[in-house]
Structure 1
Amino acid sequence: MVKLFVCSSCKKIYYCSRACQKKNWNHHKHICAEQKALNQIFDGLSLLSPLAAQRQKHWFEWRQCIDERPYVNALRLHKDCGQARTHLIIEESVYTPDADRRFTVVRCGVFRIHEALTEIERIMRLKPGGGAEACSHSLKRQPQDGPQSIAFIVFRFSEGVAPWLDRRTIDAEDLEQMPYNPKWRQDINKDHPPAKLILSEDLKDAEFD
């Protein structure tokens, strides 16, 4: 048995030796920087409001274990994987700290990226043009994914936590073997499938473009 040690920067990933840590660094460095920044946010929030810090930490942990397959169906990537670059998912959740899942998706929908930018900037409090830049950066980033990986965007928000422009991926081979499910909302929450999201009268659901 080997005693594992944790990365001193992010305090999230464990290694069996320094050699393995060095070998993994090119893959880990992006995640490490993000986790280190989050740790600083959690530490700062803990001093001001332990409950707010706990909610933010639950928000991060919940996002890490989300199943992306329902949204692969929502974007209908089976028909046209190019929609991953023109459309995105916008998802609204509520905090349910006593449930197995810390957050519950209550509303979501498919929208054209260029039409949703104003709403994304409003929720994220970005300057005009910031939404387009964030989406473009998210789709261009390709760490360790390889040419057969299809990247798409899910914009997640909930009251009391920082909104998140989440980049998800699915392997092209997995997509070919995955049957299309038009009832994808039930895969998110079978007991209470999320309703359609309406952010403004001008922003129309684009699931069936």
Structure 2
Amino acid sequence: MGSLDTHDSLCRHLAAEARTAILAVDYRLSPEHPHPAPLEDARAALTWLRENGRRHGLDPESLAVAGDSEGAHLAAALAREDPHIAGQLLLYPVVSAATDTASYRRLSRGFPLTAATMRWFMDLYTDGRTEPGEAIVDLAVDPRSIPTFLCTVGHDPLCDDGLTYAAALTRAGAEVQHVHLAQHAHGIFTSAGAVPTAERVLASACAFL
């Protein structure tokens, strides 16, 4: 799930408030296009931007990556493999393939994203041909020291992994702005209607960009 349409307002908000250009990537989705198709699409978009950005009035030497959920995982994976990316903005990212954390055990029902749903997503992403640990980069292992804005939410099976990643980035010497919303759930930034807390966090994210 997820598309250019579902994230249009979020991308427009970032572009307007941060006064920067946003290139939104409509990467292929599972199960029709499992790993590594989504990451290949993200890499292709980055390559295109580097080769063609100036023709569109963009500066390909001043790039940050951003995303939410799996999009944040793809963004962070690009940032770790590409030393020319200057920063990353990650909203409740998928950090690893681990599903045995306390937040996974805690979030079993009653929220937009539960542990069972997340495991189902991972199965679709790998299509049974790849182990989740091979397809989903463990971002907390040897993280790149890069300026990072990271938001985690308490009612989210991904919560503990996100906290681990924030700590790993800090130990690696990265400049990290970490916002933890203990009483909010996965999807807060694309939920219907305006959530005041989300608006405040996005203001900080735009200032970071």
User: TM-score if structure 2 supplies the norm length?
Assistant: 0.28
Higher relative strand content? 1
User: TM-score if structure 1 supplies the norm length?
Assistant: 0.28
**Of the two, which has the highest radius of gyration?**
1
